[in-house]
Structure 1
Amino acid sequence: MRRMTVIRTGLSALLLLGAWAGVGTGPASAAPEPGSAAEPQLSPGLLAAMQRDLGLGAEQAAARLAAEKTATAVEDKARRAAGPAYGGSWFDVKTARLTVALTDAGKADAVRATGAGVTLVPHSARHLDSVKREIDGLKAPAGVSSWHVDPKASRVVVNVVASERRDNDVQEFLDRARAAGPIAVEETTGAPAPFAAGTVGGDPYYTGNVRCSIGFSVHGGFVTAGHCGGTGAAVRGWDGSHIGTFQGSSFPGNDYAWVSVGSGWWTVPVVLGWGTVPDQLVRGSAEAPIGASICRSGSTTHWHCGNVLAKNETVNYSQGAVHQMTKTSVCAEPGDSGGSFISGDQAQGVTSGGWGNCSGGGQTWHQPVNEILGRYGLRLHTA
């Protein structure tokens, strides 16, 4: 059992006591409404990480986080104002505000009144989502890595491994995808794989001989990736002591799970900074828009930042397709699986997999945290 005097996360006594006071209290409830969270506390370390990974100055990083927070709050209002003409939305770095795609120019003034910019597109989000669902029903060969709705292009983008582009099975899949509706084909240099680790590689935990990373604390446990362990599997902590067991797990199809916490362990609303940045408080789970900055913590590569590239992407792992994933430009490596994706002080999701590494770059997907909370009726532990 881990001694309660050991403060693994490096929190102050004040924060630790505050966390204990909230453990196990209250029934399960929904995540906070977007835009309702307190202002993020911008530590110098977090701004430094954004400068390193996004090429920003300190003032630019702070201004971008503030603009992204506003865009997150505007997104739901703009979607409602657009109605059936809604074609998707994203954070535009150049204008520093949310841009909303519309199929009907008559809705432009109502959307602009919410604070968003407007652009016209040929296809609605509803239509593109239906095209993607039809493609989801196809059996994808290994040379097809993923597909998602791209609101900017007003197409479903199908990502193909460049070396497999001329493969007959890939060509057949693309022909069937084109028959479903408007698509665009893009090439990628690597095939996605879950970031599980064997006898090698948040905070690490172990299931059998696999090391993964804790995602976010919830009341009664923590959420993580489903491919790290099946329901009922025992979990050990960084010190080898028993934490709890997987209470629910889903992979493939989804890639999420939650683990109970007991045996002297406790939960805190914190994401580890690993000395790169101070440990980050979690204050909510308002979902950042496409184009927003996002950072990741994991037990192998620690802190890295990037941008949200796509949402609701279907990722074609060798074990089977996983749906409703968010794609980012953040790097990750084996052992980072299950770890935290966070934007400002808002929880975003748990690390699933990707391609590349943190030396040469790559892309990583996460399963959105609000989906996990809703699936298992959990309540995020917030500061």
Structure 2
Amino acid sequence: MVGRHTVGARRAALTALGALVLVQVPSAAAAPPPPAPGPAHLAARTLGAVRPPSQVLRAMERDLGLTRSQARARLVNEAEAGTRAGRLRNALGGHFAGAWVSGATSAELTVATTHATDASAIRAQGAKAAVVATPLSTLQALKERLDATAGRLRSRDTPVWYVDVPANRVVVQATRQAAATALVEAAGLAGRGVAVRVAAERPGLRKDLVGGDAYYINGGARCSIGFSVTKGSQQGFVSAGHCGRPGDGTTGSDRTGQGTFEASTFPGKDMSWVGVNSGWTATADFEGQGGRRASVAGSVQALVGAAVCRSGSTSGWHCGTIRQLGATVQYAEGTVNGLTRTDVCSEPGDSGGPFVSGAQAQGTTSGGSGNCTSGGTTFFQPVNPILGDFGLTLKTAQTGAQSPQGDAAADAWLPGHVYEAGQTVSHSGVRYQCLQTHQAQGVWSPDATPALWQRL
């Protein structure tokens, strides 16, 4: 196993990764176009970061204070950082303590390890090294204990908890210190380094209005189309689970018949999918600024610190950054696990709308606090679990995308399957390990996408 490598073997694995190539980020005063992508920018080309949607660039300029060239460079660097982080995760094994990008424009990669002996090899790959006390696997296990305990307590005063990767700790966000202490003690985690953040905000579901394109549930409440999907010959779209239950009917923004909720999960997760009738056609498009469209190319999960943008009819098109992955939120209506926490603003009515990072689908709006006047926090349901749980295929601008299909080998790579970082597959007689969580596209075979797969 990778986690049992000797220090020498681990260093050898790190050294074999190759040199990191970054796009130089121009200053705001002088912003020439970024360098043309060369052979080294395989990840950026695979993930669509070389030619990102203009809607994403415009919103990044406005919300992140970037020039057009800086926004392009950041997306390229984040794509490259995601691949490098996946390779370092595989090489470090049990020592791995997380990875994130930072810097308003540079998207500089930091990789954390619990062993100082790994630091020089990490730095040799162009990443910053952070030596910390606790591996990521342990932090995730501590959070899972909070997940299991909170269901018994059901306190509205502890609405959010998550793993803070850069700080190497688990955080419980509460409106009262005593409530957080009670949750930590009930989970048996007193003295285990779980931090408490006291804040007045109580995230609420973003429902009853449109986000992306509008749709109506049973002729009444409105929610938002997230991303188009297919399941066999059935077309449809994904959205938030709290928007409707299986069997509920939907109409489009023009109030014409549209479809039916085929599946919905809430609480626990906040996901649903709606199958539409023959009058509707699934596309890879989402609405950006001013209603102009852009397309998604896949669903590769972005790193903590990466830029992310959201579409919603109430508050429009806004960008920010990913703050944490795998957060748990205790809404008044129920607890939801596995959400991504962002500093993108949103307002009631944005539920179900799409989150994208560059040209990669990230998830659908769940809930949040604050607003787009004073600022706020928004949580989204990652899209890959929606695709995996419901057996859906994301509609993308890529060619050759296929639905999941059978294969003679149980662990053979399959188009349409959702793969988690670290998972291994076989393809054309060769073993590969996944670098970044994603749904496999037909044109993303392991031998053709070193941005997503590492040959073993």
TM bracket, shorter-chain basis: 0.7 to 0.9
Query: Greater CA deviation, 100-109 or 36-45?
Result: 36-45
Other-structure match for 2:163: 149
The percentage of aligned residue pairs carrying the same residue is: 44
Does the alignment pair 1:71 with 2:81?
A: yes
Does the alignment pair 1:41 with 2:51?
A: yes
Other-structure match for 2:277: 262
User: Deviation at 1:45?
Assistant: 4.3
Matched AA of 1:224: S
Residue by residue, what CA displacement relative to the aligned partner does 1:160-196 show, whole Å, maximum 9, x if unpaired? Answer: 12xxx25x54442244454273211113331011101
Q: Secondary structure at the match of 1:153?
A: coil
Other-structure match for 2:249: 234
Does the alignment pair 1:52 with 2:62?
A: yes
User: Deviation at 1:44?
Assistant: 4.8
1:78–1:116 CA contact under 8 A, matched in 2? no
1:186 pairs with 197, 204, 216, which one?
Answer: 197
Other-structure match for 1:132: 143
Other-structure match for 1:119: 130
User: Deviation at 1:202?
Assistant: 1.2
Residue by residue, what CA displacement relative to the aligned partner does 1:249-297 show, whole Å, maximum 9, x if unpaired? Answer: 0000000011102141111101111417x41111011111000010001
Does the alignment pair 1:195 with 2:210?
A: no
- Aligned counterparts, 1:1-383, within 5 A: 36-93=46-103, 96-112=107-123, 114-138=125-149, 139-161=153-175, 165-166=176-177, 168-176=178-186, 178-179=189-190, 181-197=192-208, 202-208=212-218, 209-219=220-230, 220-275=235-290, 278-383=292-397
Q: Secondary structure at the match of 2:394?
A: coil
1:216–1:269 CA contact under 8 A, matched in 2? yes
Matched AA of 2:59: A
Distance 1:85 1:36 in 2: 29
Q: Secondary structure at the match of 1:133?
A: helix
2:211–2:225 CA contact under 8 A, matched in 1? no
Distance 2:186 2:370 in 1: 29
Q: Secondary structure at the match of 1:137?
A: helix
1:338–1:350 CA contact under 8 A, matched in 2? yes
Distance 1:183 1:239 in 2: 49
Matched AA of 2:114: T
Structure 2 segments unaligned to the other structure (5+ residues): 1-42, 398-456
Segments of 4+ moved more than 4 angstroms: 112-115
Structure 1 segments unaligned to the other structure (5+ residues): 1-32
Q: Secondary structure at the match of 1:372?
A: helix
User: Deviation at 1:35?
Assistant: 7.7
Matched AA of 1:247: E
Distance 2:162 2:352 in 1: 22
Other-structure match for 1:8: none
Matched AA of 1:75: A
Distance 2:164 2:155 in 1: 22
Matched AA of 2:273: W
Q: Secondary structure at the match of 1:268?
A: coil
User: Deviation at 1:376?
Assistant: 1.0
Distance 2:138 2:115 in 1: 14
Distance 1:362 1:275 in 2: 22
Q: Secondary structure at the match of 2:341?
A: strand
Distance 2:45 2:214 in 1: 31
Q: Secondary structure at the match of 2:288?
A: coil
What's the TM-score once normalised by structure 2's chain length? Answer: 0.72
Residue by residue, what CA displacement relative to the aligned partner does 1:303-354 show, whole Å, maximum 9, x if unpaired? Answer: 0100000000011111121001100001111111000000100000000000
Q: Secondary structure at the match of 1:308?
A: strand
CA 1:130–1:160 in structure 2 vs 1: closer, same or farther (change >3 Å)?
same
Other-structure match for 1:5: none
User: Deviation at 1:107?
Assistant: 2.8
2:321–2:344 CA contact under 8 A, matched in 1? yes
User: Deviation at 1:152?
Assistant: 1.3
Distance 2:77 2:277 in 1: 40
1:242–1:263 CA contact under 8 A, matched in 2? no
1:193–1:353 CA contact under 8 A, matched in 2? yes
CA 1:201–1:282 in structure 2 vs 1: closer, same or farther (change >3 Å)?
closer
Matched AA of 2:170: V
User: Deviation at 1:109?
Assistant: 4.5
2:216–2:253 CA contact under 8 A, matched in 1? yes
Matched AA of 1:296: R
Matched AA of 1:54: L
CA 1:151–1:170 in structure 2 vs 1: closer, same or farther (change >3 Å)?
closer
Matched AA of 1:66: V
Distance 1:129 1:43 in 2: 34
Query: Greater CA deviation, 252-261 or 47-56?
Result: 47-56
Query: Greater CA deviation, 53-62 or 308-317?
Result: 53-62
Aligned alpha-carbon RMSD (Å): 2.1
1:72–1:286 CA contact under 8 A, matched in 2? no
Matched AA of 1:292: A
Distance 1:365 1:271 in 2: 19
2:53–2:358 CA contact under 8 A, matched in 1? no
Matched AA of 2:69: E
Matched AA of 2:168: S
